[in-house]
Structure 1
Amino acid sequence: MAPFGSAQRWVPPTKASKPEEMPTAQPQPSPFGTSQRWQPPKAAPAQQAPSSPFGTAQRWQPSKPAIPAQDDTPAEPALKPAPKQPKKPKKRKRDSDVMPDPAQDEATPKKHKAVLSKFEKVSRKVKEQPQQPPEEQESKPDVVLRDLQPLPQPAPVPEPAFEPTFSVLPNWLSQPITVESSKRVPFDQLGVEASFVKKLARHGYSEALAVQSALLPMLQPGYKQHLGDICVSARTGSGKTMAYLLPIAEALKDRTTPVLSAVIVVPTRQLVDQALQVAEELCAGTKIKLGTAVGNVPFATEQKQLVKMRAQYDPKRAASLHEKAKQQWTTGFVENRGLVDDLMTLPADHVPRYDSGVDILICTPGRLVEHIESTTGFLLRSIRWLVIDEADQLLNQNFQGWSTVLMDALHGETPEDFMDAQERLRKERKLSGRGPALPPSTAQHITKVILSATMEKDLTKLGALKLKRPKFVHVQDEQEHPLAATEGDSFDLPTTLTEFAVPVSDGHKKPLYLLYLLLNTVFQTSNGDEHKEASDKESGEDSSEDSSDDPEDSEESSDGSSSDGGDSETEEKPITKPSIAKHKNRVLIFTKSNENASRLSHLVSVLEPSFKEYLQTMTPSSTAKQSKKLLKAFSSGSVKILIASDAASRGLDISGITHVVNYDIPPSATSYVHRVGRTARAGKSGEAWTLVTKSEAAWFWKQLAKGNNIRRGGKTVARVQWKERSVEYNRRRTYEAALAELQEAVAGTDG
């Protein structure tokens, strides 16, 4: 029993079929008397709510207060609160004219009423909108329906061509001084002295070529002189050697005492001989002394030629040198051994004094480094000109680190033992700080001239030369674009050069193709015209479009050739044996090695005995006298055919070469440019022929014939197709015999 009366906890009613039959709660006796707790009045039965799929449980509703009953009247039992009736939606002002249908509200689920009410609102809005007149409906633009195709876009706005305002190269290299290759100027208009003009006229030079007309004013004293270094890029045969030797010879013509003033560095001994020949022609009649330093001359002989020693009276310095020599002998560490040895041969109180024996030194880089490091008294403190010819090859190979050694000797301080009085006094005052300071050295600035047909643009390599205020001079054709537009290396070929390429199948009969070329093109005879007219010449452009088919074309051309050389003897007339003694043409044939040059010379002599008297071979192993004698014979015309390795392709200037043959394909575009540049020099015409095998055809046509880095002045490489039957006509057996003889000779040499 609860302490506060007989109130009972409300118990939810059980499910009943009808509201009238629901059980009522019975009153319980209260401990406080018969008075009963107030009970809410019975609620009127309400309409049954629609059944819910979740059962008949109803939400609890609070009861309403009622008037308490009399004490004697039994209290009515408490009834279960009636279920809450669903709320009717509030009527809005605009919806007041539409009365809801009670029956429809009862039948429609509550969750659908919101959707239906929105639909009714939209329907009413559509009905309330006034209808537009037909004129306004027709005035509206028609809607264009499109498929999934892309929408049409406006025309693109053309963008201006990209013109970079920057360059990875410095201004002096990216913006060169361009000179047209066709430019010609008389020497007397360039300020050349009359004596040298007459001397040049005697050798057949009346006008300066393009590179000479640009370089001479920059090296000669005057208002056009450039007080800095000069880099020159000009094709082979353009007269670069004369361009730098002529100003040097003019400046030194009045000198009576030899002082080493100019050093010319070239990569090969052949180029040393060639530059020496030009220098001798220019310096004839003057007291200028020329000297060379190459590897095939005894080192001691060159030392005596380059440095002259004489005794000078200087007791104080002589005592100092003797004391230093005594200490060195005591410790066993001898410095400047050559100086000590020379000191012992002099009279008392005398010291050795070293003077230069030459004014102009032409040398190779390796031998120059040896003289700098080992020749006592060989100093470069009086150098005014440093010329580096064929700079691309020298910088790429860098013999014995020659550039570093040379720059240190040029710009470094003179060793103390070899200082003159002025240098020694300047150093003493600088160290002691006493006495008035002497004026700086009056040594003139060293002018460096860097030349090449394929100028190197690697700043790392050019930086090793320590150039000062450099300028770049580029010789090009009129129709070419300026060199500044290209950042990579580019090569120029003479416009008077004509190039040909001959497919030679797999190359096992290449000597026969070479012989056919010599007989029918270089030393052409009367019946050789028929063979040349029969050859099928095609432009290099057409051939390069299908470079992979070139080897197949050469193979197809040999399908009709007879397998037996005897059959072809009855079909065609033999070629008349030529006599090349009267021919003015001269041909230079390049191979990839000295061994190939020797073997090819042997084969050609056996296949065509009439060529043996006029054929010679030049390799780097030849001595200086042999090379000089051979080049002189080739220049005079007593030798018509010269076979050489790649070493001879650099800078050789031999007048009268009409044909160049690449028997072995060059390894790079640079090598190709230097090979074919031996002909068509100084405005003369020339031809270059290349024998191409099937494995080399694709690279040759794409890189050399059609490459963008070689400019030919609008010309192309022509392909010449020869039938194999005509090439090996009446020579197959002779060729096989020559190969067997060569094999025996090689085997005998190896044994």
Structure 2
Amino acid sequence: MSKKRKRDLEASEANAEATADTKPQKSKKDKSKSKERNDELQRILEKSEARFASLANATDTDVIVNEEAEASDENMDVDQAEPSKDAATSSEDKPASKKDKKKKKNDEDVSTGHLSILSKFDKYRAEVLSSAPKIVVEENVPEEPLQGLHPLPQPAQAPVQKVDPNSVLPSYLAQPTTVPTSQRPPFASFNLPELLLDRLNKLEFTNTFPVQSALLPLLLPDSRLPPSTPRSDLLVSAATGSGKTLSYLLPILASLLNRVVPHTYALIIVPTHELATQVQRTAHTLASGTSLKVSTAIGTRPFEVEKDHIIANDVGSTGADILIATPGRLVEHIRNNPQFTLRHLQWLVVDEADRLLSQSFQDWVEIIGDELQKPFPTNGARAGFDLASLGVRIPNCAADTVRKVILSATMTRDVGKLAGLKLRRPQLVAVDDIGHREVSMDESGDDDEGPEKEDRGLRELNSIPSTLEEHYYPVHNATQKPLILAKLLSDSNTTSGILIFTKSNESASRLARLLELLFAKKLGKKRKGSSKKDWNIAVSTSDKRKKEISANTAKFKASTIDILISTDLMARGVDLPNAQLVINYDSPRSEKDYIHRVGRTARAGNNGITWSLVEDSEARWWWTGIGKVRRGNGDGVKKEVAPELNAEALQIYEGALEKLGKEVRGA
């Protein structure tokens, strides 16, 4: 190796060593400057992203201003960054090697790359802003409140429609089975025992009434059906005096003639003592010659005495096979008489059902229903095979076997009231005097419209017998009503069998005394066809003793009493065969009460007359209510003219009033 080459190698090694000594120091400085520049660029990027997010809600003008400001800020950042670079460069050694120049070039390339990335970001941000929907801001328009911080607005609710509970009726109520009044086959055509036919012949009952001809086939046993076949429960709407009592007593007696052990097999519920006594009398007459016992639980006897007459649970007992009861007394026996039971009950009859269901006597419907639901005692395991597997229906309680018959002259079609009876496959039978036509569920008998329109066809089935003659007398001066009535009676040909209804006990007593005083003065013309000089007048009101009421009823039936004045106490269920004239001295409270009042006459196909004395203040209600009741004849109500009152009649009336006042004051 030559000396020159040797020197070059040594110089090269020396330079390499020097370079190796200085290289780590330059690398650390370069890294520090690169990190500082990267931090500056990261800060710029974060500012740009924050401004980009805020620009989404800005207007176009704001976008332009912000972009210019941002560009200015970026230029400032770059300008501020450049001096720091120069400062760093100046702090370096002035002489720079080739490697220093190369490193500086690399740093410039890195800076150029970052700026390129930033420009791409600005370009992308501009494209997003241009595609975003432009927001137009109007002056003096309040900002729309933010959504999501409160409940969203809901659409207005539809008005609540009032639902008529009677707009849709069950099929058995909407389409009753109507029976024409001309249908009167003989009793012998029905499957009645010979014993009962003999009793009917002795009572001179040959032909049935329409309600009897309709119910007997439905209630008497049907030989074509197995004995265990359940039968439908019946609702019966028929006018008062149409023979409803006989229509259910005959099937009950026919089913119990062969009974061996006395039990309470039939329960008949009625609203009043008078009706209970009347039903008992009819049942005794028909059951004469049999071993069947009929009794009542109506509160006319002490409770302990009554217990011995109605308990029929042991062999040889003297209790009742057929029990007739009022609701209150019946509930008392169920609660306080542990030996009384309805476990063997086969018949449940509710007469005058509209009144009993409207007035809840000690919740009798629920109490009787619970009593019928009590399970039969098992008496140990049943021996033999399972009868149910053979298709034989085995009852678990009395409710599974009892037959229910609900009757009224004004049968309700209120589903809510009937629901408590728990009827089984019910059927409604209506005896309509208007003729054999269907009773429409929309028929109300009133053409008036408005909120005060009363529903007469949907809720109740009612009608007035075709043999009833109705008269309407307007009374313009209510203070003279007793005198008008006395004048009408004096001029009338009716001499007895007159039943007058008032609104209260006091009104009945006052009217009775005034009529006695007026008749004593021989008001009006001489009574035709009568040699009697005086009228016999009696009063039956709720403040009288029961014995007195019963005595007056018996005397009225015997025509010993000519005029009987009463409240609605005598309006329901009382059979008064000799009642010829019914007078509504005070207007009834409803059409239903009117029907029951006038139903005391024109019974069993006989003729009858009714007068209604109506004050001017009651005329509108009377004609829109009672005047629209369905009637069996085409005559309707005859409007009459009240008799004229002369000076003599008025003077007699003033004297009667003065005398009555002295009697009341005890003078």
TM-score by length of structure 2 reads: 0.65
Cα distance, 1:303–1:621 mapped onto 2, change above 3 Å: farther
Question: For residues 644 and 363 of structure 1, what CA distance do their matches in structure 2 show?
Answer: 23
Matched, 1:247 2:246: no
The structural deviation recorded for 1:424 is: 4.1
Matched, 1:210 2:210: yes
Question: For residues 394 and 465 of structure 2, what CA distance do their matches in structure 1 show?
Answer: 51
Matched, 1:596 2:507: yes
| Pairs within 5 Å for 1:570-609 | 580=495, 585-609=496-520
CA distances 1:247-284 after superposition (whole Å, capped 9, x unpaired)? 11222233354211111111111111111121121111
Mean Cα deviation higher: 179-188 or 603-612: 603-612
CA distances 1:13-72 after superposition (whole Å, capped 9, x unpaired)? xxxxxxxxxxxxxxxxxxxxxxxxxxxxxxxxxxxxxxxxxxxxxxxxxxxxxxxxxxxx
Matched, 1:173 2:173: yes
- Whether the aligned pair in 1 keeps the contact of 2:271 and 2:356 (CA below 8 Å) is yes
Cα distance, 1:384–1:675 mapped onto 2, change above 3 Å: same
The alignment partner of 1:725 has SS state of coil
The alignment partner of 1:690 has SS state of strand
Cα distance, 1:480–1:212 mapped onto 2, change above 3 Å: closer
The corresponding residue for 2:542 is 620
Q: Which residue of the other structure, out of 644, 667, 677, is the alignment partner of 2:589?
A: 667
Matched, 1:452 2:408: yes
Structure 1 unpaired stretches of 5+: 1-165, 311-352, 415-421, 428-437, 524-579
- Whether the aligned pair in 1 keeps the contact of 2:462 and 2:630 (CA below 8 Å) is yes
The corresponding residue for 1:44 is none
Q: Which residue of the other structure, out of 328, 348, 364, is the alignment partner of 1:366?
A: 328
Question: For residues 519 and 473 of structure 2, what CA distance do their matches in structure 1 show?
Answer: 21
Which letter does structure 1 place at the counterpart of 2:470?
E
Question: For residues 485 and 439 of structure 1, what CA distance do their matches in structure 2 show?
Answer: 38
| Pairs within 5 Å for 1:221-236 | 221-223=221-223, 227-236=231-240
CA distances 1:180-208 after superposition (whole Å, capped 9, x unpaired)? 01211100001222332232222231110
Matched, 1:260 2:231: no
- Whether the aligned pair in 1 keeps the contact of 2:468 and 2:602 (CA below 8 Å) is yes
The structural deviation recorded for 1:499 is: 0.6
Matched, 1:465 2:385: no
The structural deviation recorded for 1:480 is: 6.1
The corresponding residue for 1:189 is 189
Q: Which residue of the other structure, out of 423, 439, 458, is the alignment partner of 2:378?
A: 423
Cα distance, 1:447–1:605 mapped onto 2, change above 3 Å: same
Question: For residues 391 and 309 of structure 1, what CA distance do their matches in structure 2 show?
Answer: 28
CA distances 1:658-710 after superposition (whole Å, capped 9, x unpaired)? 110000001111111111111111111111100011111121122211x2x43
- Whether the aligned pair in 1 keeps the contact of 2:308 and 2:318 (CA below 8 Å) is no
Cα distance, 1:251–1:611 mapped onto 2, change above 3 Å: farther
The corresponding residue for 2:370 is 408
The structural deviation recorded for 1:505 is: 1.4
Cα distance, 1:611–1:673 mapped onto 2, change above 3 Å: farther
Question: For residues 533 and 640 of structure 2, what CA distance do their matches in structure 1 show?
Answer: 24
Question: For residues 446 and 253 of structure 1, what CA distance do their matches in structure 2 show?
Answer: 17
| Pairs within 5 Å for 1:663-702 | 663-702=585-624
Matched, 1:397 2:359: yes
The corresponding residue for 2:653 is 735
The structural deviation recorded for 1:223 is: 4.6
The structural deviation recorded for 1:748 is: 4.2
| Pairs within 5 Å for 1:316-395 | 357-395=319-357
Which letter does structure 2 place at the counterpart of 1:630?
N
The corresponding residue for 1:651 is 573
- Whether the aligned pair in 2 keeps the contact of 1:605 and 1:611 (CA below 8 Å) is no
TM-score by length of structure 1 reads: 0.58
| Pairs within 5 Å for 1:42-53 | none
Q: Which residue of the other structure, out of 714, 729, 733, is the alignment partner of 2:634?
A: 714
Which letter does structure 1 place at the counterpart of 2:249?
L
Cα distance, 1:454–1:611 mapped onto 2, change above 3 Å: farther
Q: Which residue of the other structure, out of 622, 627, 632, is the alignment partner of 2:554?
A: 632
Question: For residues 181 and 510 of structure 2, what CA distance do their matches in structure 1 show?
Answer: 39
Which letter does structure 1 place at the counterpart of 2:466?
T
The structural deviation recorded for 1:387 is: 0.4
The structural deviation recorded for 1:406 is: 1.1
Cα distance, 1:697–1:480 mapped onto 2, change above 3 Å: farther
The corresponding residue for 2:288 is 284
The alignment partner of 1:631 has SS state of helix
Question: For residues 567 and 422 of structure 2, what CA distance do their matches in structure 1 show?
Answer: 33
- Whether the aligned pair in 2 keeps the contact of 1:254 and 1:286 (CA below 8 Å) is no
The alignment partner of 1:448 has SS state of strand
- Whether the aligned pair in 2 keeps the contact of 1:179 and 1:211 (CA below 8 Å) is yes
Q: Which residue of the other structure, out of 477, 482, 488, is the alignment partner of 1:517?
A: 488
CA distances 1:424-450 after superposition (whole Å, capped 9, x unpaired)? 4269xxxxxxxxxx9765967100000
CA distances 1:78-102 after superposition (whole Å, capped 9, x unpaired)? xxxxxxxxxxxxxxxxxxxxxxxxx
Cα distance, 1:612–1:278 mapped onto 2, change above 3 Å: farther
Question: For residues 250 and 188 of structure 2, what CA distance do their matches in structure 1 show?
Answer: 13
- Whether the aligned pair in 2 keeps the contact of 1:356 and 1:378 (CA below 8 Å) is no
Cα distance, 1:460–1:442 mapped onto 2, change above 3 Å: closer
The corresponding residue for 2:141 is none
- Whether the aligned pair in 1 keeps the contact of 2:179 and 2:436 (CA below 8 Å) is no
Question: For residues 194 and 311 of structure 2, what CA distance do their matches in structure 1 show?
Answer: 33
The corresponding residue for 1:499 is 470
Cα distance, 1:168–1:736 mapped onto 2, change above 3 Å: same
CA distances 1:610-653 after superposition (whole Å, capped 9, x unpaired)? 77662211123444433333222212222221111112101222
Question: For residues 297 and 543 of structure 2, what CA distance do their matches in structure 1 show?
Answer: 17
Structure 2 unpaired stretches of 5+: 1-165, 383-392, 443-457, 521-531
Question: For residues 192 and 230 of structure 1, what CA distance do their matches in structure 2 show?
Answer: 19
Which letter does structure 2 place at the counterpart of 1:239?
G
Question: For residues 291 and 213 of structure 2, what CA distance do their matches in structure 1 show?
Answer: 26
Question: For residues 554 and 402 of structure 2, what CA distance do their matches in structure 1 show?
Answer: 34
The alignment partner of 1:492 has SS state of coil
The alignment partner of 1:185 has SS state of coil
The structural deviation recorded for 1:308 is: 6.4
The corresponding residue for 1:576 is none
Q: Which residue of the other structure, out of 631, 644, 655, is the alignment partner of 1:724?
A: 644
Question: For residues 358 and 204 of structure 2, what CA distance do their matches in structure 1 show?
Answer: 36
Which letter does structure 2 place at the counterpart of 1:689?
W
Which letter does structure 2 place at the counterpart of 1:211?
V
The structural deviation recorded for 1:522 is: 4.5
Question: For residues 522 and 620 of structure 1, what CA distance do their matches in structure 2 show?
Answer: 30
The corresponding residue for 2:91 is none
Q: CA RMSD in A?
A: 2.7
Cα distance, 1:391–1:635 mapped onto 2, change above 3 Å: same
